[in-house]
Amino acid sequence: MELEKQLQKRSGNKCELCNSIIDLTIYEVPPTSNQNIDNCIYVCKTCKDQIEKTEQLSADHWKVLSDTMWSETPAVQVVAWRMLSRLRNEAWASDNLEILYLDDENLEWAKKTGDHESDGIVEFHQDINGTRLYEGDTVVLIKTLDVKGSSLSAKLGTVVKNIRLVPGNVDQIEGKIEGQTIVILTKYLRKG
C-alpha cells in the first residue's frame, strides 16, 4: 500500500503514460526482482492491458507519449520506448523513437524483454466467426471430428464447456468430450 501512495504522489494520481485518472493500478516494469518505486509506474487499465498484450494495441491511445515520454522517471521512459517500438510503423511513433534518449543502462533495461522486436499486433484465440474466446467459455463444434489416437468421434453440434486456451497457440483450445480432454482447432468451433 505504501508503494501505491508513493506512485500516486509521483504521478499526481494520473496514469504516467496517458494522463488518465480512471482505473489506475501499479505496473511493475519487467524484468524486476522486487517491486519498488524505481521499477514501477502508475497506469490506467487501458495502458496496462495493451502493454501486457491482453488487448489489441490502439495507436491513437498512445499518441500522448509524445508528451509523457519526457518523464524524468526511468521506468516511464522504458515503457514509453517499448510502446513506441511496438508502434514504429506509425510515422509519429517512429519520429518520437528517434528523439527519445535513454542512457545506456535504461536502454538495456528497455531491450531486455525483446518487446521492441515485435510489432503491435496481438493475436487472440478466436472462433470461426472471429469472436474472441476466453478461458472457461462454452463452444459448439461446427464439424464432426475424429480424435487422433482414439475411437472417439466428436459430433457436429457437440457442446464443449469450460474450455482452456492453449498458451502460445491461438489456433487451439482444450476441452472435454465424453470425459476425455482433447485439443480442438478453433476453426472447427463457434462460441456457444
Q: Note whether 160 and 138 are within 8 A (CB).
A: yes
pLDDT at residue number 152 = 81
Amino acid making up residue 75:
A
Residue holding cell 517491486?
35
pLDDT at residue number 68 = 96
Q: Parallel, antiparallel, or unpaired for β 159-160 and 40-44?
A: unpaired
pLDDT at residue number 24 = 98
Least confident of 55-64, 70-79, 122-131: 122-131
Given a cut of 80, whether residue 1 has pLDDT beyond it is no
CATH topology of domain 139-191: SH3 type barrels. (2.30.30)
Alpha helix stretches (DSSP H) within 38-163: 45-51, 59-62, 65-68, 74-86, 91-99, 104-111
Provide the residue ranges of all domains of the chain, joining segments of one domain with +: 2-117, 139-191
| Residue 184 CA: distances (Å) to CA of 57, 103, 127, 141, 163 | 28, 48, 11, 9, 10
Given a cut of 80, whether residue 71 has pLDDT beyond it is yes
Q: Parallel, antiparallel, or unpaired for β 24-28 and 40-44?
A: antiparallel
pLDDT at residue number 30 = 95
Q: Note whether 124 and 167 are within 8 A (CB).
A: no
Confidence of residue 118 (pLDDT cuts 50, 70, 90): low
Given a cut of 90, whether residue 29 has pLDDT beyond it is yes
pLDDT at residue number 146 = 85
Mean pLDDT of all residues in 136-152: 87
